[in-house]
Structure 1
Amino acid sequence: MTTTSRHAAHLEQVEAPGHMLTKAAARALAVLRISVGFVFLWAFLDKLFGFGYSTPSERAWINGGSPTNGFLSNVEVGPLQGFYHSIAGDTWADWGFMLGMLGMGLALILGIGLRIAAGAATLMMAMMWAAEWPLAQQTSAGEPSGSTNPIVDYHVVYALSAIVAALTYAGHTWGLGRRWVNLSFVQKHRWLI
């Protein structure tokens, strides 16, 4: 059995109602995929243009602001506090963050490259989890950290959602995933699925 025929057989299993995923489950996973994608894309857009939600327009990236400076320079807890302070506002950190948010957002919304998006989301969310360090009840200054759960917070949920989207081929429902996997360069480089 060739790689392509094994993949096709797997997709038939995913699509067969009642076999692995029902149509309702596939649609729910598509909604989850698109929703998490929009979380990442919105972070990119708000930091880029400063819509006034988490970023005021005067601190927008297009107006000379830094997408990472505010968050990273205000890390108040955890073993990586000094590291995050040292990279806050660095050009490479700004570009990495913004390209990551844009890439993950578009990949999840479009339903393409979900393996890469899941890996990137897991890495980015792990870094942001470590920056907020929810294990601590107090900041380094002795103030309450604001942590409500020491282990599972929204960073973990976003990462797991991206992983589930990739593992269930959620891009094939209401996305371009089916077309994406049939492209010749994706067939040659399976890690791009």
Structure 2
Amino acid sequence: MTTIGRDSATHLERAGEPGSVITASAARALALLRVALGFIFLWSFLDKALGLGYSTPEARAWINGGSPTKGFLASVDVGPLQDFFHDIAGKPWADWLFMLGLLGLGLALILGIGLRVAAVAMVAMMALMWLAEWPLAKTTDAGDLTGSSNPVDDYHVIYALSAIVIALTYAGRTWGLGRWWAALPLVRKNRWLI
């Protein structure tokens, strides 16, 4: 990334592909978005792993034998995939995948590395969580209100779109390790790792 001035255009160039232009201020804003989004996932990982007392009490921490997926997935009470989510709730493989996903997304976004992979993983995780919450439903199977305030666009969609924008704009190069990461021989040979 080359910066010409404080708020001048910043050119993001990749070998063999046309560059795009964003302002230096936009690059910094995208870096802030990247770090903030990463912190959401890293904090979720830490709280569920250690039971910091925010959404997970210490007694239900993963390190104390608690399941990070059981409470949420076992309480799914809407949507066509209820039985699927109930079946995987609390399974060790589901707990491990979820926790590794939270940690991987948090670290990748905060560090600004592997953002393409992180964007794909974020879209997959957010799609599954959207399906579990099923915001299309107004009421549960029991007839209670679901609390859904928008049947289509919610935070899952916004998080997924944010990760895509962050990856496509190379937001890891501003206040992150994206430039160093992209220069690694393995990443240069496998551009999808950027």
Instruction: Give the deviation of 1:39 after TM superposition.
Output: 0.7
Give distance in 1, aligned partners of 2:138 and 2:123.
Answer: 24
Which residue pairs with 2:8 in the alignment?
none
TM-score normalised to structure 2 length: 0.91
Give distance in 1, aligned partners of 2:192 and 2:15.
Answer: 16
Structure 1 runs, 4 residues or longer, greater than 4 Å off: 8-11
Give distance in 1, aligned partners of 2:179 and 2:17.
Answer: 12
Instruction: Give the deviation of 1:94 after TM superposition.
Output: 0.1
TM-score normalised to structure 1 length: 0.92
Which residue pairs with 1:7 in the alignment?
14
SS class of match (1:21): strand
Instruction: Give the deviation of 1:141 after TM superposition.
Output: 0.8
Quote the sequence identity (%).
67
Instruction: Give the deviation of 1:21 after TM superposition.
Output: 0.5
Give distance in 2, aligned partners of 1:65 and 1:74.
Answer: 16
Instruction: Give the deviation of 1:10 after TM superposition.
Output: 5.8
Instruction: Give the deviation of 1:112 after TM superposition.
Output: 0.2
SS class of match (1:147): coil
2:38 maps to amino acid: G
SS class of match (1:112): coil
Give distance in 1, aligned partners of 2:52 and 2:30.
Answer: 29
RMSD: 1.3
Instruction: Give the deviation of 1:153 after TM superposition.
Output: 0.4
More strand by share: 2
Q: Residues 150-170 of structure 1: CA distance to partner in whole angstroms, max 9, x if unpaired?
A: 001001100111100000000
Which residue pairs with 1:51 in the alignment?
52
Which residue pairs with 2:183 in the alignment?
182
Instruction: Give the deviation of 1:9 after TM superposition.
Output: 7.4
1:103-182 map, 5 Å: 103-182=104-183
2:193 maps to amino acid: L
Give distance in 2, aligned partners of 1:113 and 1:56.
Answer: 32
Q: Residues 126-149 of structure 1: CA distance to partner in whole angstroms, max 9, x if unpaired?
A: 000000000000011110000000
Q: Residues 93-125 of structure 1: CA distance to partner in whole angstroms, max 9, x if unpaired?
A: 000000000001100000000000000000000
SS class of match (1:120): helix
List alignment gaps of at least 5 residues for structure 1. 1-5, 15-19
List alignment gaps of at least 5 residues for structure 2. 1-12
Which residue pairs with 1:39 in the alignment?
40
